Amino acid sequence: MKSLIPILAGAIVGLAHAAPDAEKLYETHCLSCHAPNRLGGMGPTLLPESLAHLKKPDAAKAIAEGLPATQMPAFKDILKSDEIKALAAWIYTPPKLPPKWDAEDIKASRIVNADAVDLPAKPVFKADPMNITLVVEHGDHHITVLDGDVMEPILRFPTRYALHGGPKFTPDGRFVYWASRDGWITKFDLWNLKVVAETRVGINTRNVAVSSDGRYVMAANYLPHTLVALDGKDLSLVKVIPVVGNNGKTSRVSAVYDARPRNSFIAALKDIPEVWEIPYDGRPVYKGLVHDFQSKEAIPEPGPLPVRHIVLEDYLDDFFFDQNYDYILGASRTSPKGQVIHLGAGRKVAELDLAGMPHLGSGITWDRKDAEGNMQRVMASPNLKDGLISVIDMKTWKTIKTIPTEGPGFFLRSHENSPYVWADVFFGKNRDVMHVIDKQTLEIVANLKPIPGKTATHVEFDRYGKYALVSIWEMDGALIVYDANTLKEIKRLPMKRPVGKYNVWNKTRLSEGTSH
């Protein structure tokens, strides 16, 4: 006879404490906002990939206490603490059904604002439309539209959850597009201060790029493994490009950029050793050819937005372009050396000597005089792991200086009219420090500490390089406006965890001191 003890013990444990059924709890309390399969709806996506930036205890806290200034209510009076814990753990587990977001989902998601059709091509405000700066506030998911001459807000409005990557402007500065990590692409009419349209292109999205003719908006996805091209006019779907390498493997897309002088998009791929170039001016791409040169025998890739696979020796998922978009400078994943890729030739032409974990995507370039008095173009990159900034000569590709900093940094910024580079110390105990570096001597000339103990990050200039705006990346944070020459504080504007700031002139004119 089998022993009854384990069965009885199980029953007693069961009576004392049945483990909460997290899936059932999700269906009852969360599904209406976060959607079936946790794909996100009014509330954000709750899949492991989407939650990479949220610590589990913070997820439990958000369920218990809700999130201020959002629709997320507090559940601590409705759910027991072990139920909250179980739910918070469960959302980090992979879903039963593999998440899907295909062309039909993309088309069905599109929302067009009837109030924003055929509006006058004239700003509704008096401010210089080319000196507007957008501030993305992560604390409560808002954007502030700032008049860059007087540094006063014109408008503040709610956005989708967790925008990431830079908003991208049309060349005239009228329209701007941005992406949320949940896959929503928004088109905004900056002159009429209205959302024009929104389309959801994926489940976990990285960023967006706009073709220099304004015709296409290209979005980069982690999930699914796709690039999605939308029509710049109304965000209708043009093409879903499945990301499959020459080796047959699929890949997440780290980011996509507009290489304006080449009339093409360039995509950085996370899981395959390739970089993709996607011309948008109708020129053909020939199957199997890795360089720009055409061949009579080669067969062109069919359809619009063909893909040129540039096959590399190593992965290249975080990189920087020179100002002409002839070269890509990228960190290698498997070697301490970085790689310099010539885009036309489609191959590596040099190696870079880089320490730690350079964040080349945040690099900037400028001209300086070398020891012999000759002009030299340099590129500088912050480092996500070590307290240093690497400065590279863009002719010889040699590291000419490693500037020690008070900790690893995330963003670097300058402006053509400014003698200084501003470098944050994003990680570690000195994250309240902002270094100011002389572009000629490559020496730190000032260490600003806007608010002791509070993270100071990401600088953007106004169009003239007169003011430098620093983010205090805290829930009750601020935007601090400095005189970019005297380094004196001019004013502070309260903001909710402001991170990125984007000036229309600097972005549309490809200022060498900022990202594009």
Which residues in this chain contact ligand DHE in the complex, by CB under 6 A?
Answer: 52-53, 164-166, 207, 254-255, 361, 410, 458, 499-500, 515
Least distance from ligand DHE to the Cβ atom of residue 503, Å: 10
C-beta closer to ligand DHE: residue 180 or 405:
180
Distance, in Å, from the CA atom of 476 to the CA atom of 140, rounded to the nearest integer, reads: 10
Q: Which CB atom, from 164 or from 435, has the smaller least distance to ligand DHE?
A: 164
Residue 370 has a CB neighbour count (10 Å cut-off) of 11
* Contact yes or no for 256/220 (Cβ under 8 A): yes
Q: How far is the CB of 227 from ligand DHE (least distance, A)?
A: 14
Distance between CA 357 and CA 426 in Å, rounded? 14
Closest CA to 314 of 338, 332, 328, 331: 332
User: What is the distance between the alpha carbons of residues 377 and 396, in angstroms, rounded to a whole number?
Assistant: 10
Nearest residue (CB) to ligand DHE, 352 versus 412: 412
- Residue closer to ligand DHE by CB (options 14, 428) is 428
Residue 482, token pair as written in the block: 């400095």
Q: Which is closer to ligand DHE, CB of 307 or CB of 499?
A: 499
Length of the chain: 516
Instruction: Name the token pair of 434.
Output: 């902002």
Which CB sits closer to ligand DHE, 393 or 512? 512
- Taking Cα atoms as reference points, which of 35, 34, 37 lies closest to residue 62? 34
Tell me the closest approach of the beta carbon of residue 47 to ligand DHE, in angstroms. Answer: 14
Please name the residue that has the structure tokens 């900056």. 190
Q: How far is the CB of 87 from ligand DHE (least distance, A)?
A: 23
Q: Compare residues 26 and 321 and give the one whose CB is closer to ligand DHE.
A: 321
Q: 299 to each of 115, 292, 296, 306, 308, how far by Cα in Å?
A: 46, 14, 8, 12, 12
Helices assigned H by DSSP within 400-458:
none
In the complex, the smallest distance separating the C-beta of residue 362 from ligand DHE, rounded to whole angstroms, is 7
Q: CB of residue 28 vs ligand DHE: minimum separation in angstroms? A: 30
CB of 459 to ligand DHE, least distance (A): 9
C-alpha 367 chain-centroid distance: 27
Q: Residue 136 pairs with which residues in a beta bridge?
A: 143
191 vs 410, which CB is nearer to ligand DHE? 410
Q: How far apart are CA 19 and CA 470, in angstroms?
A: 48
Report the nearest approach of ligand DHE to the CB of residue 410 (Å): 6
Which residue's CB is nearer to ligand DHE, number 403 or number 499?
499
Is the separation of the CB atoms in 134 and 144 below 8 Å?
Answer: yes
The gap between the terminal CA atoms of the chain, to the nearest Å, is 75
Helix, strand, or coil (residue 89): helix
Distance CA 323, CA 327 (A): 9
Phi-psi region of 39 (alpha: psi -120 to 50; beta: other; left: phi over 0): alpha
**Torsion angle, alpha carbons of 146, 151, 154, 156, to 10:** 60
Nearest residue (CB) to ligand DHE, 439 versus 458 = 458
Q: Quick one: 26 or 222, whose CB is closer to ligand DHE?
A: 222
Find the shortest distance in angstroms from Cβ 327 to ligand DHE: 18
CB of 236 to ligand DHE, least distance (A): 22
Backbone phi, then psi, for 413, in 5-degree steps?
Answer: -150, 150
In this complex, which beta carbon is closest to ligand DHE, that of residue 123 or of residue 408? Answer: 408
Residues with Cβ within 8 Å of 422's Cβ and at least 6 positions away in sequence, in order, are 412, 413, 414, 434, 435, 436, 437, 459, 468, 470
CB of 484 to ligand DHE, least distance (A): 17
Least distance (Å) from ligand DHE to the CB of residue 487?
A: 21
For residue 403, give both structure tokens.
């500037």
